[in-house]
Structure 1
Amino acid sequence: MITSLRSPDTPDVGAVLRRWRDRRGVSQLELASRAGSSARHISFIETGRARPSHTLLMKLAEHLDMPLRDRNSLLVSAGFAPQFPETPLDDPSMKTLSGELERLLAVHDPNPALVHDSHYRIVEANRSLLALISGAAPHLLEPPINTMRLTLHPEGLAPAIRNLAQWRTHLLGQMERQIALSGSAAIAELYREVAAYPVPDGGPSAPVSGNAYALPLWIDWRGRQLSFVSMLATFNTPLDVTVSELAIETFLPSDPETAAALREMTGEVRPPEPGPGSR
């Protein structure tokens, strides 16, 4: 029977659906209209008076923009098998992806770049990023390195960040949005931890200029002030839970001085610009 796939502590599908609908602020009528169903049927599912089909659950999950991990949980709560695999990156089937991620990060050198998962744990990092964080306390550099702890901990990068107040607000706001969208208890616990870190007193400070095109990260590094803007990239239409939770973050220099410092840090010398008559 279908219900044999559910364990005794698996939440009821109706409760799971209602929780996600409430989280997205969508009425039963609106959700039903999007999924080609009826408000009555959605109501019956939520109250346990009707059992949804696999096809309908997949439609509902899509229109509620549920992460793949939670779509699997929704299916299991209804007695179905998970739809999306969760494959470790060190699995042989992921060899091509892992290799391409390593090459992608290497190409970003001398700009710092990393890959992290949905819990902000670093999966891969290039040599520039590792050099940038090398001064943090050893306990913060033990794998898996958590970027939120590393950045906001008083023994991490926080004392060196010149605009810590602005960057801290940005990172905490990012986590708040993720908690609101996913309801992740793990992220909520991480948020409470890092939000409680003491903010270093008397450290360097710098306001964000009015003409900044993105929030910069100003950081003191080995006697130099470096300025970065960060960029995030994720996979389009992932079909694996692991892949769906990966994000590539690149730190681009926001001024010529930072670009020059990064090239010097990695020993890279840019060739001279070609002259007017060069090909």
Structure 2
Amino acid sequence: MGAGVGEVLRFWRQRRGMSQLKLATATGVSTKHLSFVENGRARPSRQLLVHLADALEMPLRERDRLLLAGGYAPPQGGTGSRDRAMRPLRQALDTLLAAHDPHPAIVVDARWDLVVANAAAELLWDGVDPGLLTSPVNILRLSTHPQGLPRISTATPACSRSLITRLRRKADEDADDTLLDLVLEAEGHLADASGQPPRWTGDGVMASFELKTRLGMVSLHTVIATLGAPLDVGASDLALETFLPANEDSAALLRELAVTRPGPQHDSAPTRPE
């Protein structure tokens, strides 16, 4: 158990470019004791592991892995406890997304997998390749794949360049190979479409694009907001992306689309199981 702790700590200390002396100085732990923890000769307390994880700015899922390696339960406890704790957040997200209707709105996680969406968000994938809608839907993939959002809108893969850059940096900081694979895939779509310039419009403050719908084109602004600072691994790094009408004609068309929206069977955006 202790060796597992040492391996995790050593990995993140080296990832952050810190020597044992530097980490010991930053945390007030003796270099000798830190060395003993890393080589498995000392069993650290839960408090010490949390303290070291804070100093190393470890991602929440890695903090949980560290605690489990040390024989301690993660802060959210078991599955039942976690489900109960997450219930108010799920209800809050449902309320938030419903409030944005008839404007599309989605919530994504740190890897840009779709967590939940409102009914209007169906417009964002109505007409894309069905193969891209296998759960969990990845919004980064959907936004850059030529058969995704670029197929039904004026947004090109190049429009996601700044997001790709940010996620590549996050993948490196968090040592997240899964996220890195997604970034590399998106960069491949970007390279394949290198002859296509970005098709964002707008005033330089908010980006806009034209989206095909069953009733015609709508012009949408896109806005991304981070949802607080949850303490649970499953809720960390959640972000809300909303798509707001860029003009009154588009607002009216979104309202008409909502009124004439097909039945519940079409409110079928694949989401991650709860």
Q: Under a length normalisation based on structure 2, what TM-score does the superposition of the two structures give?
A: 0.77
1:52-84 CA deviation, whole Å, 9 max, x = no partner? 222111111122222222111112223433343
1:149 & 1:165 partners in 2: Cα distance?
10
2:60 counterpart (57, 61, 68): 68
Cα RMSD (Å) of the superposition?
Answer: 3.3
CA contact (8 A) 2:201 2:208 kept: no
Aligned CA distance change for structure 1 residues 92 and 61 (closer, same or farther; 3 Å): closer
Aligned CA distance change for structure 1 residues 69 and 84 (closer, same or farther; 3 Å): farther
Structure 2 match to 1:235: 228
Quote the offset at 1:86 in angstroms: 6.7
Question: Structure 2 stretches of 5 or more lacking a match?
Answer: 261-274
Structure 2 match to 1:277: none
Structure 1 match to 2:44: 52
Larger helix percent? 2
1:247 aligns with 2:239: yes
Tell me which amino acid in the other structure corresponds to 1:34. Answer: A
1:219 counterpart (210, 213, 218): 210
Q: Under a length normalisation based on structure 1, what TM-score does the superposition of the two structures give?
A: 0.76
Instruction: Give secondary structure in 1 for the equivalent of 2:136.
Output: coil
Aligned CA distance change for structure 1 residues 95 and 43 (closer, same or farther; 3 Å): closer
Aligned CA distance change for structure 1 residues 254 and 186 (closer, same or farther; 3 Å): same
1:128 counterpart (120, 123, 129): 120
1:11-59 CA deviation, whole Å, 9 max, x = no partner? 6322211221233334434433332323443344334444322211111
Structure 2 match to 1:96: 88
Aligned residues: 257
Percent identity between matched residues is: 38
CA contact (8 A) 1:162 1:218 kept: yes
Instruction: Give secondary structure in 2 for the equivalent of 1:100.
Output: helix
Quote the offset at 1:245 in angstroms: 4.8
CA contact (8 A) 1:217 1:227 kept: yes
